A and B are shown apart, each in its own frame.
Chain A
Amino acid sequence: MTKKILAYIDHFHGKVQPASWECLGVAAAMAGDTGGEAAALVLGEGVKELAESAFQYGADQVFLGDDPILKDFRPEPLADMVKKAAEEYQPDVILFPTTTRARTLAGMASVDLDSGVMVDVIALDWSGDEIVATRPIYAGKLLAKLVCSSTPQIITIRTRAFDKPEPDPARSGTITTLEVGLDSGEVPTSIASIQEKEAGVSLTDASIIVSGGRGVALNPNLEAPVDLDEEAAEIWKAQQGFALVKELADVLGAAVGASRAAVDAGYIEYDHQVGQTGKVVTPDLYVACGISGAIQHLAGMRSSKVIVAINKDPDAPIFNFARFGVVGDMHAILPPLTAELKAYLKS
């Protein structure tokens, strides 16, 4: 059946979240197979250029809402625009990337358009009468197939679950500008300030992740400065350990992950936690250093393509899930490993 698909392009002040293009890639593939059409929805301030680039990634047309009121992430006015675009375009499917902002807008659209949402989907099958979505539940311990009987079907796709389309600079199309017509007095929220993080490689987008666990603080050959109390000494040791993890990550262009034990002990910020109550990641390569492999940690990373475990305990459960295991002290193994890889990647 012909499908008209609207794909939401999530970005931060014009900097696009990579998953948005994956989303548009899915939209274009679905449109191609069903003889339908893919449109992109770009909302923000000064985002005309971003809107133009959507054609390269597969959009047949673009809806653009460009207005100061849409500059920052305020869900209410953005959701109003999603609704407006849906009413104008009448899509069969609205696709969102599963980013924090787009997940919010998908939830709001479901209420506004009174239609179901299938969230964080990792596979989609549109060959039959119904679109069948697959998504992990219980942090990936089970997989569910979902169908949605209402229209438009609202779907959010997991980052890295679908291929990023190759840009085709030859493609072009028409941009339809949506009337914004909101005044800031009607918006219940305002942004007081933004604290931007240092741009590092984000966990969910990373193709390689190097993670540290409680083992980062357990270097048998390291003495903390004597003036530190026990807790400060542990944190100090952990920082030295994480420095080794970061050096390896830098050489690989990888993101830094952590176990919950490392986060809870204050070795690193929560943002880095991988697992059931952290981030679920699927990199091509996951290097676990000083991580035991508790079920809640495994839930967040076991679908990684290749897992490497470095652990001094040969019986650590993580080895059962690793393609390659190194038994030994991570603090001794990481420096030569980083040096080896650096030499290889330079050559």
Chain B
Amino acid sequence: MKIIVCVKQVPDTAATMSVDNGVISWGDAPLIINPWDEYAVEAALNLVADQGGDVTALCLGKEGETEAIKHALAMGADSAVMVSDPALKGADNLAVSKVLAAAIDKIGDADLVLFGQQSVDTDTGLLPIQVARNLGWPSLTLVSKFESLDPAGNKIQVLRTMEEGGQVVDSSLPAVVSITKDYGEPRYPSFMGIRKASRAEYPVWSLADLGIEPPSAAVSWPEVREPESKEIVTEIIEGDTPEEKAKNLVQKLIAEKVL
């Protein structure tokens, strides 16, 4: 079985973000694999451990944005592909989805393409859906569990989450699946894994390598800013006993008209 898992490099979630002259900055915060994507890598590794096969990590990014691929390889992915092209500057989701779909085509023969739920930087959660649609494959989003998988029979059954509960879905393969956090904790890379990943070589494909024109971007971001910092005056509720504090808090909440 062949699984491709899409991973992205992002600034650490503990970073304080700022905007200097229109340029987004995360200070000296480290760069990491998008935390949601670790769950997707974990799922991919478990599936091939069960079924046999291999896992390829796929990342689109600027040259040098290797943190996500390195981490996926260190966790145990067998190989990786990076897609990088200066023409992708300013690409929107739809454009990126077309490029990822072309890369998945070029890698070829995938039974499953796994994604994280969403990126923690742009927070769109759209790529798994758009890539699936570009490929003409079913998109199984927000999956927390694989109920069964039969690559030979081209069948998969997954549990997908919705607001009202879970839905067990049967689907044909190949398919695109995005993984939620309640799939289960991702493993830590082993020491050996980290060493292997630091030496790993993998191809970097340009748009020409993929045989596609730079897709045009419809959505642009003319302005990014820091939100106005709300003036918060914190009032500490006084009281000698918990009961008194509770009473005083309720009086304040009534006055604040939030009940």
User: Across the interface, do A142 and B165 meet the contact criterion of CB distance under 8 Å?
Assistant: no
A108 to B97 alpha-carbon distance, docked (Å): 11
User: Across the interface, do B121 and A295 meet the contact criterion of CB distance under 8 Å?
Assistant: no
In A169-212, which residues have CB < 8 Å from any B CB? 188-197, 199, 202, 204, 208
User: Across the interface, do A322 and B237 meet the contact criterion of CB distance under 8 Å?
Assistant: no
The verdict on B124 contacting chain A, using a C-beta distance below 8 Å, is: yes
User: Across the interface, do B133 and A117 meet the contact criterion of CB distance under 8 Å?
Assistant: no
Residue of B14, B161, B219, B222 most packed against chain A (CB within 10 A):
B219
Given the contacts A110-B130, A142-B226, A142-B227, A73 and B162 also touching, CB distance less than 8 Å = yes
The verdict on A284 contacting chain B, using a C-beta distance below 8 Å, is: yes
A294 to B250 alpha-carbon distance, docked (Å): 26
On A, residues with C-beta under 8 Å from B are: 12, 15, 17, 72-76, 79, 99-101, 103-104, 106-108, 110-112, 114-120, 136-150, 188-197, 199, 202, 204, 208, 252, 264, 269-271, 273, 276-278, 284-285, 294-296, 299, 305-306, 308, 314, 319-329, 332-333, 336-337, 339-341, 344-345
The verdict on B259 contacting chain A, using a C-beta distance below 8 Å, is: yes
Given the contacts A295-B13, A295-B14, A147 and B139 also touching, CB distance less than 8 Å = no
Contact of A107 among B133, B225, B245 (CB under 8 A): B133
User: Across the interface, do B163 and A12 meet the contact criterion of CB distance under 8 Å?
Assistant: yes
User: Across the interface, do B242 and A329 meet the contact criterion of CB distance under 8 Å?
Assistant: yes
User: Across the interface, do A79 and B242 meet the contact criterion of CB distance under 8 Å?
Assistant: no
Given the contacts A119-B124, A141-B17, A277-B35, A73 and B167 also touching, CB distance less than 8 Å = yes
Given the contacts A115-B218, A195-B168, A333-B242, A269 and B120 also touching, CB distance less than 8 Å = no
User: Across the interface, do A138 and B218 meet the contact criterion of CB distance under 8 Å?
Assistant: no
The verdict on B79 contacting chain A, using a C-beta distance below 8 Å, is: no
A17 to B254 alpha-carbon distance, docked (Å): 30
Note all chain B residues with C-beta closer than 8 A to A332. 242
B255 to chain A, nearest CB (A): 10
User: Across the interface, do A117 and B235 meet the contact criterion of CB distance under 8 Å?
Assistant: no
A100 to B245 alpha-carbon distance, docked (Å): 40
Chain A residue with the shortest CB-CB distance to B93: A117
User: Across the interface, do A197 and B246 meet the contact criterion of CB distance under 8 Å?
Assistant: no
Note all chain B residues with C-beta closer than 8 A to A75. 129, 138-139, 141
User: Across the interface, do A325 and B235 meet the contact criterion of CB distance under 8 Å?
Assistant: yes
The verdict on B213 contacting chain A, using a C-beta distance below 8 Å, is: no
User: Across the interface, do B259 and A189 meet the contact criterion of CB distance under 8 Å?
Assistant: no
Note all chain A residues with C-beta closer than 8 A to B245. 326, 328, 333
Given the contacts A277-B181, A322-B232, A189 and B138 also touching, CB distance less than 8 Å = yes
A279 to B185 alpha-carbon distance, docked (Å): 18
Between A and B, 14 residue pairs with Cβ closer than 8 Å are A107-B126, A119-B124, A120-B124, A138-B15, A138-B123, A142-B17, A147-B220, A148-B220, A194-B168, A277-B181, A308-B249, A322-B232, A324-B252, A333-B246
At the interface with chain A, which of B50-58, B102-110, B169-177? B169-177
